[in-house]
Structure 1
């Protein structure tokens, strides 16, 4: 018997929301541990030619390789839930927030965090610029959440666990206590979403940095250049 499978690695930010929603609507997915950092099989590269995660393979043979498409597909498996919003316009807003977080937020966070982890070229100026650019885009979420509990409508939707999963990388590494004080509404929303049973079924313990990562030690610094 074929099963729905999600190829990803434990704690993968782009997979957390997918698995949380699957848990909430009781949609069975078998997680196949797949981490590009430790190598990929030829079989996997036939499914995802870019060698990225996550990848979804449905019990009917459907293959999806983009996290937003996977999340929307999984959430649609229970038409009675409100994960895709009560109205069509709510659905449009859900996709909009997912897109913002999966592009602008993730790219800016990565430009801030990856050099500090020693897996991308480090320069103080570049990191500081990325930090400011991250704050700029997070401010959009902060302003939006000032008078809202959820990102869309008056109920939990796919946008909440999906976006919370994406920004978990920031909270774990650089969104420290001092930084969080500047974004209280965004932080409260994140704490609310990550405390939900559906989220804790995937990530039982949420990590929130007390102190942001500092510059990498010389031995950690990457030898890669922009051309790489």
Structure 2
């Protein structure tokens, strides 16, 4: 296997943390967007969208989209379980992972893509969209604070892919000026727990 990686990408980070939690060793090839390799015919055969991450299997088969890659790795390496163990747990993990992706990570990524110089000339930027995304993410932090009351982790009693998605989102938020306030103690306590795990540095 080989992972085509974009170090600054929160989606790629999600996969790296997942791999680290599983204790797997998968070689990585870091993609430099400035070279344009991601738009080359060679790379587009791996992922027609030209994005990262991509997991390439030994037979040349490729899997893109971070959740799909994690699902594949979970099936091959079920321990430790990061997507739930029972039908109900799996449903809750999927529910919360989607919430963290759609309601927190995606708006923060939108703010970054539309407002950061890194994306100038690579993606069409609409600066007016940045405050819309920031406000969306801020509202999401409000209800996440409530949801974490009395809980150590987001979806179940154990660390899961929902926590991975959320911690990548929170990290992205720091780059666009969206942070949990000092009064949001549940989020801050959760953040301390998840970032103390060795995988957080993946």
Question: Shorter-chain TM-score: what band?
Answer: 0.7 to 0.9
SS at match of 1:32: strand
Counterpart position of 1:86: 85
Q: 1: distance between equivalents of 2:32 and 2:52?
A: 7
TM-score by length of 2: 0.83
Over 3 Å counting, the alpha-carbon distance change for 1:104 and 1:162 in structure 2 is: closer
**Deviations for 1:154-199, whole angstroms, at most 9, x for unmatched residues?**
11122222331233211243134xx522533223222321220122
Structure 1 position 122 matched with structure 2 position 119: no
Larger Rg: 1
Q: 2: distance between equivalents of 1:165 and 1:144?
A: 18
How many residue pairs align between the two structures? Answer: 194
> What is the alpha-carbon root mean square deviation over aligned residues?
2.2
Counterpart position of 1:33: 30
Aligned counterpart in structure 2 of residue 19 of structure 1, from 10, 16, 21 = 16
**Which consecutive residues of structure 1, in runs of 5 or more, have no partner in the other structure?**
203-228
Q: 1: distance between equivalents of 2:113 and 2:8?
A: 17
1:56: how far off? 1.0
SS at match of 2:83: coil
Single out whichever of 167-176 and 65-74 deviates more from structure 2.
Answer: 167-176
Structure 1 position 147 matched with structure 2 position 144: no
TM-score by length of 1: 0.75
Say if 2:14 and 2:66, in contact at 8 Å, map to a contact too. Answer: no
Over 3 Å counting, the alpha-carbon distance change for 1:131 and 1:158 in structure 2 is: closer
Work out which structure has the larger RCO, using CA pairs closer than 8 Å and 6 or more positions apart in sequence: 1
Over 3 Å counting, the alpha-carbon distance change for 1:47 and 1:127 in structure 2 is: closer
1:37: how far off? 4.8
